[in-house]
Amino acid sequence: DPLIVLITGCSSGIGLSLAVKLANDEQKRFKVYATMRNLTKKEALEEAAGTTLNHTLEIKKLDVCCERSIKECVESIPGRRVDILINNAGVGLIGPIECQSLEEMQRVFDTNFFGVVRMIKEVLPDMKKRRSGHIVMISSVMGLQGIMFNDIYAASKFAVEGFCESLLYQTMKFNIFLTLVEPGPVVTEFEMKTHEEAMRGDYSKTDRETADMFMNHYLKNTRAVFSSLGQTPEDVAEHVLHVITKKKPQFRHQTNQVYTPVTALKHADPRGGLANDLFYKLVFQHASLMHASLHAIKLIRWKAHKVQQGARMLGLL
């Protein structure tokens, strides 16, 4: 029998690519419920799904911000069976916090964090009964390391990470896998739209220096990072396929190797100096991520060496 996969936020980007990839699996290992908040946006997915539509891929309505919508969708699946839940739906928010309303910020949390919580609350009891299942979160490297002007977005992804870290021990006991997939920059339509909107935004609610930091440092810098290191949604989908077909899926999975040193800085230097230094250089001194990462790798090696020395002194090595 194919595994039943439910994916949220499939009208575009990573969700759309992933739904199509799984539906086209040559070994026909999956039956995909590709869900989206607004069915009037289903055309792109229908087109990409091609002949898999209504065979290995079915489109359903699901708004992660609405408990009733989630329940209705899950109830409509035979036996309420979801073997693999992929929490992909998410929204971004960039800019100085003075220019963002509390409502906008709460919407980010309601989607990115409480959306995940609502989904898990709905499927977890059934998975526990069956003592099987896999829940995958499309988190972000920003769930591990904050980046300037992404304050609220990063906080929402940190919330997802903390929630999952805590839930993990319960799920392990019930033979349910939990995985945080952490992509770096992914070039989607959404990213370009956010960027263009930000360029046209009104920054009169903040001071000129902050507005300049955002427009002339942050936006230019992110553009460069996206065009040099950005992955495609298909790349990320390939990583998710890999994760869900593993016998023992790991808890964390980063999709962009270039970012691994960046997220390791915090552990290499718990006092925060390394990470802060790298991001300062990146944003204000236009250091390339590669260059800054290389420096970081050297420092991490040095730290690892120190840890080893310490362990030797204690007779542990």
Catalytic residues: 153
> Quick one: which segment of 57-65, 240-248, 281-289, 301-309 binds ligand NAD (CB under 6 A)?
57-65
Instruction: Identify the three-state secondary structure at position 305.
Output: helix
Q: Does 65 bind ligand NAD (CB under 6 A)?
A: yes
Say whether residue 9 binds ligand NAD (CB under 6 A). yes
Distance, in Å, from the CA atom of 309 to the CA atom of 141, rounded to the nearest integer, reads 30
Residue 194 class from Cβ within 10 Å (0-12 exposed, 13-18 middle, 19+ buried)? middle
The CB-of-12 to ligand NAD minimum distance in angstroms stands at: 4
Sheet containing strand 84-87, edge to edge, reads 57-61, 30-36, 3-7, 84-87, 134-138, 177-182, 252-254
- Contact between 48 and ligand NAD by CB under 6 A: the answer reads no
User: Per CB under 6 A, does 235 bind ligand NAD?
Assistant: no
Regarding 15 and contact with ligand NAD (CB under 6 A), the answer is yes
Size of the site for ligand NAD (CB under 6 A): 27
225 touches ligand NAD (CB under 6 A): no
Give 154-158's long-range contacts (Cβ < 8 A, gap of 24+): 155/109, 156/108, 156/109, 156/111, 156/112, 156/113, 157/112
Sole residue written with tokens 């427009």: 215
Residue 91 engages ligand NAD in binding (rule: CB under 6 A): yes
Tell me which DSSP letter residue 213 carries. Answer: I
Candidates 3, 6, 13, 292; binder of ligand NAD (CB under 6 A) is 13
Stretch in the footprint of ligand NAD (CB under 6 A) among 73-81, 87-95, 202-210, 296-304: 87-95
d(CA 290, CA 71): 45
Minimum CB separation from ligand NAD for residue 181, in Å? Answer: 8
In the shown chain, the binding pattern of residues 101 to 120 toward ligand NAD, with x for contact by CB under 6 A and - for none, equals ----------x---x-----
Q: Find all residues with CB under 8 Å of 26, minimum gap 6, and list them.
A: none
User: Toward ligand NAD, which CB reaches closer, 3 or 136?
Assistant: 136
Alpha-helical runs (H) found in the chain: 13-23, 43-49, 67-75, 102-112, 114-130, 151-173, 189-200, 208-212, 219-229, 233-244, 260-268, 273-284, 289-313
Task: Single out the residue of 138, 164, 262, 268 in contact with ligand NAD (rule: CB under 6 A).
Answer: 138
| Site for ligand NAD contains 180 (CB under 6 A) | no
Q: Is 198 a binder of ligand NAD (CB under 6 A)?
A: no
User: What residue type is assigned to position 122 of the chain?
Assistant: E
> Which of 55, 57, 68, 3 lies closest to 35, judged by CA?
57
Stretch that binds ligand NAD, among 10-18, 22-30, 202-210, 290-298 (CB under 6 A): 10-18
Among residues 107 and 130, whose Cβ is nearest to ligand NAD? Answer: 107
How many Å separate Cα 23 from the centre of its chain?
21
Residues that bind ligand NAD (CB under 6 A): 8-9, 11-15, 36-37, 63-65, 88-91, 111, 115, 138, 140, 183, 185-186, 188, 190-191, 233
